[in-house]
Amino acid sequence: MSNSYLNGIFFQSNEIMDIIDIKKFDPYVLSKEKKDCLFSEVVINTIEPSVIIMPPIISENNCKITVKTVSDLAIEPAENIDQVSIVKTARERDDLIYVKQDDTLFWCLYILHHGFSDYHNIGRNYGVKELEEKSKIYDFVKTNPLLIKNTNTKITNVAIKEIISELISVQRKMSYQCMIASLVYYQKNLIIVDKTKTSMIEFWIDRDNIPSMESADLLQTNVLYRDERGNYKLQLENISISKIMDMRSTMYIWESYDKPLRGLSSYKVHELEDICKKLKIDTISKKYKKNELYEAIQNKIGLNFS
């Protein structure tokens, strides 16, 4: 009795449908014919570069796979894709490489020596690889301290000990001292440009072979760009001597990484004015005294590499 009551509420038109009405549901039923139609004789042997295979679209009257062609699209084989593009981001310009690790300086040097493919293939074991690489540099420094001292940067015995200590301890970011030792190990010169591209620091692994226009041979020299956060971006291509000369003519060159300027008394006023011009310090609208020029340069350099 209760069942009849409920049926009366929820199934008021509970009539036996005619077989003709059931046919209305045919388009929504996966019948054997439709199933066979989906998988019958669909063979794709070759995909042309200008073709994109779209998901199958079944019409009411037949069973066809719809293929959409795009004439202006060429699909490059996977093996030909430049692996550097894997890490390209919206922020990247001028063919610079950004690394994702905190110690961008160390990993830029690693890529310079080993190549991007090797870096990319490390996978998740970056911490282990960093320890392995620093262990090799540590052994090199221990047995070749004189080579580290032969760079264009003054390296003392105390500095050698500090480098060795850093290489066997956990550091969040590589120091310039340790970077110099790494450059000697990798046999590469390096130029670091500040975030405004108005000043730079040169690191030459052989102080007796600093490039000039008369230089015949030059070891691989690369450029790192330091951004406003203190991270480094790598220009992977080796730069020429003429490019180095051009950079020197437009940017101020630090005396060394820990000494951007010489003492005030060693400069003439016109020399300080030339430095201000490279650093884009306005010396026309305001007249500066010598010590004011020097102070303005100090402040600008400090901001550029802060």
- Per-residue pLDDT tens over the stretch 5-52: 445 544 455 454 555 566 666 766 777 666 665 544 444 333 333 333
- 223 to each of 32, 53, 72, 97, 167, how far by Cα in Å? 66, 43, 37, 11, 23
Write out the H or E segment, with its range, that includes residue 245: helix 241-250
- 186 to each of 140, 194, 257, how far by Cα in Å? 10, 23, 20
pLDDT of residue 228: 86
CATH 3.90.70.80 boundaries in the chain: 91-253
pLDDT of residue 38: 54
Q: What is the CA radius of gyration of the chain?
A: 34
pLDDT of residue 112: 94
pLDDT of residue 88: 41
pLDDT of residue 210: 86
pLDDT of residue 298: 92
pLDDT of residue 42: 41
CATH architecture assignment, domain 91-253 = Alpha-Beta Complex (3.90)
pLDDT of residue 155: 96
Low-confidence ranges of the chain (pLDDT < 50): 5-6, 9-11, 14, 16, 39-93
pLDDT of residue 124: 86
Question: How far is 181 from 184, CA to CA, in rounded Å?
Answer: 5
